[in-house]
Amino acid sequence: MQFLDRARIFVKGGDGGNGVTAFRREKFVPRGGPSGGDGGRGGSVFMEATIQLNTLLQFRFNPEYRAGRGSHGEGDKRHGRDGEDRIVLVPVGTVVTDAGTGELFHDFSDPDERLIVAQGGRGGKGNAQFATSTNRAPRHHEDGSPGEIRSLALELKLIADVGLVGFPNVGKSTLISRISAARPKIADYPFTTLEPHLGVVAYGDEGSFVVADIPGLIEGAHDGTGLGLEFLRHIERTKLLLHVVDVSSTGRDTIDDFLTISRELELYKPDLLLKPQAVAASKMDALDDRARVDSLRDFCKARGLEVFEISAVTGLGISEFVAGIGAKVEQIRRVSQAAVSSS
């Protein structure tokens, strides 16, 4: 399925039904009085977050959502039928803003969150509502009010526990396909991965965490170079940044690669480097100079970063890697829950 993380939609609440002017006319009931019923309420448009979606693709083909309008009132004080509500499903992680002003409307960060984005109109009153002791036969009614109209901009920021970052072709896609059921395209040319991929990784008896494979970053990504600017936003919500560094004999300097990616993250949003981080020394099966890994390990140790030596092709170190990352994610979750409880 094609990935789409930005969309613009139009939503409209249903108009309220009109009240009606009517009088009771029955045999043997002289001067029956006003009997005009009220109009029905217009339906509202709701937006609801769901884990069943991970793209905004559906809004490309269907950008307009309207709720049902209320029916008009009838004689004999019959109330008009209320309009049907409309529920618009969005992925968890969708940020909704007003398309005109840019004002934040809501950030759907939890499953099953539901919010009214376009209120339905109120139904109008029938003439029976206007009867008084001095005006027993009112000949006027009230029209229903129109429903709210909004133009909304949607932006999806994937919610994952671990975000894989690194240069193109360092093995991120191979790694996520090895440890989860995600199946991104894998090839030996730059920018094979053109869109983020999510994978659920199981560890231990019942533990699991979600990994996001972010398309390869390069120098200048924060400024629009390569694909980075399009997808850097998806790193914002991750709990842990995992730098995937190619330690095979490719001619690249592993430490320079790490520093370049870190600099791009900092230039995009300085707070990103405050997140917990770890390093995966990838492609260990193609290593012919142990000094490359040793220098990377010393560099990371000085910064308090744990290094996992792995090969997604042969499976070297994968079990220890999954267990170690799972333990880190679990620790981060406990700290977050403790912070929420104390507040």
Q: Are strands 240-246 and 94-98 parallel, antiparallel or unpaired?
A: unpaired
Rounded distance between C-alpha atoms, residue 149 and residue 147, angstroms: 7
Question: Which residues does the chain have with pLDDT short of 70?
Answer: 1-3, 29-30, 182-195, 216-231, 249-251, 340, 343
- Residues carrying CATH 3.40.50.300, the chain: 162-342
- Residues carrying CATH 2.70.210.12, the chain: 6-156
Look at the block and give the residue holding tokens 């992680």. Answer: 93
What's the pLDDT score for residue 251?
Answer: 60
Amino acid at 101: T
Which fold, 162-342? Rossmann fold (3.40.50)
What's the pLDDT score for residue 264?
Answer: 84
Contacts of 162 (CB under 8 A, 6+ apart): 209, 210, 211, 212, 238, 239, 240, 241, 242, 325, 329
What's the pLDDT score for residue 168?
Answer: 82
Which of 236, 214, 160, 207 minimizes the C-alpha distance to 324? 207
Look at the block and give the residue holding tokens 């072709």. Answer: 169
pTM exceeds cut of 0.75: no
3-state secondary structure of 273: helix
Q: Which two tokens stand for residue 188?
A: 């030996």
Element (H, E) at 3: none
Across the beta sheet with 6-12, what order do the strands follow?
64-66, 6-12, 149-156, 94-98, 104-108
CATH architecture, domain defined by 6-156 = Distorted Sandwich (2.70)
What's the pLDDT score for residue 136?
Answer: 86
